[in-house]
Amino acid sequence: MSARDELSPEQRARLAEQLGDAQAASAGLVMSFGTSVQDRRDHDHTTQLEDWYCLNLAAYIGERTAPVLRRLLDAEAEIDRLRDELAEEKAGRNPRLRCLLVKAARDRDLYVGWSNICEMPAGMWTREEALAYGFPRSRLDRADANGSSDLSCGDGHWDDKGFIAEQRGWLRRDRVGDYAQRYLAGDQSAAFDLLEPFEGETEVRR
């Protein structure tokens, strides 16, 4: 299935609402649609009974459309799940994509790649740029919802206090976007101005 033929998330949500509690169609019902289509195609349209035939067929199909569309939704959801699972697996093997994705703010289209090993930003992207760079959509979705892509201990989540920055000082969570912009632009001195001294110290280590 090409990307342009896929339903958007908004379309899926609307269709799911329209279908209500309809269950997915069985294979037998799907095959019966093929028979109905063939019957409709082979019908003698010159007879006076055509209108009655078409009305009956339309009613038959309309009555059974919901479970068929439910099957479509279930199939597309499974495709999305498998696509995200594969993308996560590939990203886990790519050194460029192993950083923690932290969203700068809920209303800001900026994602910071934070290295917990080096204690510094490894990159920053808009959502579109991050997808083009190779990050899985599922990681970005987690960052949108939780504040970061972390699954284990909540690093970078909205309620996280912040990060240690290269053993120089403490970086508050709400400053990570501005810090990354300054740091990656090469203005490290301005970036360090955003840090706070460690407890028991009076100055940031520069």
| pLDDT (tens digit per residue) in 152-168 | 888 999 999 999 999 99
**What's residue 71's pLDDT?**
82
Residue 202 forms part of a structural domain? no
Instruction: Examine the domain organization and report whether 109 and 83 are in the same domain.
Output: no
Q: Which residues contact 11 (CB under 8 A, 6 or more apart)?
A: none
Residue 201 forms part of a structural domain? no
Domain boundary among 38, 69, 92: 92
Helix axis angle, 50-92 to 137-146, nearest 10°: 80
Distances, alpha carbon 169 to alpha carbons 132, 135, 196, 203, in Å: 33, 29, 5, 8
Domain boundary among 70, 92, 114: 92
Specify the DSSP element, H or E, that contains 39: helix 27-42
DSSP 104: E
Instruction: Examine the domain organization and report whether 108 and 82 are in the same domain.
Output: no
Residue 185 forms part of a structural domain? yes
Distances, alpha carbon 21 to alpha carbons 67, 72, 175, 203, in Å: 9, 14, 45, 62
Secondary structure class of 103 (helix, strand, coil): strand
| Residue 40 CB neighbours (<10 A) | 14
pTM: 0.64
- Calculate mean pLDDT across residues 51-73: 70
Instruction: Examine the domain organization and report whether 71 and 14 are in the same domain.
Output: yes
Instruction: Examine the domain organization and report whether 78 and 113 are in the same domain.
Output: no
Instruction: Examine the domain organization and report whether 58 and 22 are in the same domain.
Output: yes
Closest to 164 measured CA to CA, from 190, 196, 191: 196
Residue 1 forms part of a structural domain? no
Residue 3 forms part of a structural domain? no
Domain boundary among 92, 110, 137: 92
Domain count, the chain: 2
Instruction: Examine the domain organization and report whether 27 and 108 are in the same domain.
Output: no
Q: Two tokens at 72?
A: 């479509």
Question: How confident is residue 49, by pLDDT bands cut at 50, 70 and 90?
Answer: low
Q: What would the pLDDT profile of 124-180 be if each residue is shown by its tens digit?
A: 999 999 999 999 999 999 999 999 999 888 899 999 999 999 999 999 999 999 999
Instruction: Examine the domain organization and report whether 51 and 19 are in the same domain.
Output: yes
The span from the CA of 174 to the CA of 107, in Å, is: 12
Secondary structure class of 153 (helix, strand, coil): coil
Write out the residue range of the structural domain in which residue 112 sits: 96-192
